[in-house]
Structure 1
Amino acid sequence: MSARIQLANLVPTAVKAMMGLESYLGGTDIPFILKELIKLRASMINGCAYCIEMHAEAAMAEQESPQRLLALAAWRESPLFDERERAVLALTDEVTRLDEQGLSEETYQRALGLLGETLLAQCLMQIVTINAWNRIAVATRMEHGHS
């Protein structure tokens, strides 16, 4: 694949703004592994190899099992995720695939009931942010371990 522009060099203020979102998300109540599940699932849907590699490494560094990470591809059929994780993964799928149906009332209400308003809002921001990063990485053909 041919090299493409590097946003960090051309629009550093925009990348700094994205890093501000990351800084905010680092201070939320979302457990680390749940954040990584969100990031990995959205990245799988969006076909972002850069983000999949990055977040799989981060999750495994925190002792997440490779079995669960692989099962994310078919999480609905997998018994490896608890009720809260399943609600967040459904939220991630629907917000990432807005063109299909948007966020259904059923998925929203289930997540709200399991997470409460604040954690739901934080998870939504995590989903939105990883989707933005996926689009940046795919559009610029970023490769893990490279800028």
Structure 2
Amino acid sequence: MEARVGAGFLKALERLDGDVGDALEPRLRDMIRLRVSHLNGCHHSIRLHSESLAKSGARPDLISALARPARQIRPGLVTDGESAALRLAEVLTDAPRALEQEAREQAGAWFNGTQVGAIVEVVALTNAWNRVMRGMD
């Protein structure tokens, strides 16, 4: 059976999507969205965010590296701050709760409270989109 999500719900997600993560650089927002989409196995979103990063000038090796855990990304491909943001995104998406404090503290070394909150926003909304898209496949 094909799932049909209400148009109002999709419009609400779209409106929210335009309002989250403004405290972050667009490239980092897209990197987080792509990493989270890989964790969730959402092929539609993986393609969408890979294309967005490519259009913004991201190198192909960076785009492909985001399929791996942040701690396994080749040194120099991402900044230490980007790595911390990606690690927090991973922990918020798919890791035991015990790791959240450590990941928040690591991200807090590179980002202010508003920016860490923006990372949380981007992760939450990307997770919502991934689940909607996978649920409708």
Pick from 24, 36, 42 the counterpart of residue 36 of structure 2: 42
**Number of residue pairs the alignment of both structures matches:** 134
Q: Does 2:18 match 1:23?
A: yes
Match of 2:119 in 1: 123
Contact preservation (8 Å) 1:94, 1:102:
no
Tell me the TM-score normalized by structure 2. Answer: 0.90
Pick from 79, 84, 89 the counterpart of residue 81 of structure 2: 84
Gapped runs of 5+ residues in structure 2? none
Q: Does 2:53 match 1:55?
A: no
Q: Judging changes above 3 Å, is the alpha-carbon distance between structure 1 residues 104 and 138 closer, same or farther for their aligned structure 2 residues?
A: same
Contact preservation (8 Å) 2:85, 2:107:
yes
Give the Cα separation in 1 of the matches to 2:82 and 2:113.
16
| Residue 54 of structure 1, CA deviation | 0.5
Map Cα deviations across residues 44-78 of structure 1 (whole Å, 9 max, x no partner): 01000000000100110011111001111233222
Gapped runs of 5+ residues in structure 1? 142-147
Bigger radius of gyration among the two: 1
Give the Cα separation in 2 of the matches to 1:126 and 1:101.
18
Q: Which amino acid aligns with 2:92?
A: V
Q: Which amino acid aligns with 2:49?
A: H
Q: Does 2:89 match 1:95?
A: no
Contact preservation (8 Å) 2:32, 2:86:
yes
Tell me the TM-score normalized by structure 1. Answer: 0.84
Name segments (4+ residues, structure 1) moved above 6 Å.
none
Q: Which amino acid aligns with 2:87?
A: A
Provide the identity percentage.
27
Secondary structure at 1:64's aligned position in 2? coil
Contact preservation (8 Å) 1:84, 1:114:
yes
Q: Judging changes above 3 Å, is the alpha-carbon distance between structure 1 residues 126 and 102 closer, same or farther for their aligned structure 2 residues?
A: farther
Contact preservation (8 Å) 2:92, 2:100:
no
Map Cα deviations across residues 71-121 of structure 1 (whole Å, 9 max, x no partner): 1123322211111100101001000014x3354221111112211100111
Q: Does 2:132 match 1:133?
A: no
Secondary structure at 1:114's aligned position in 2? coil
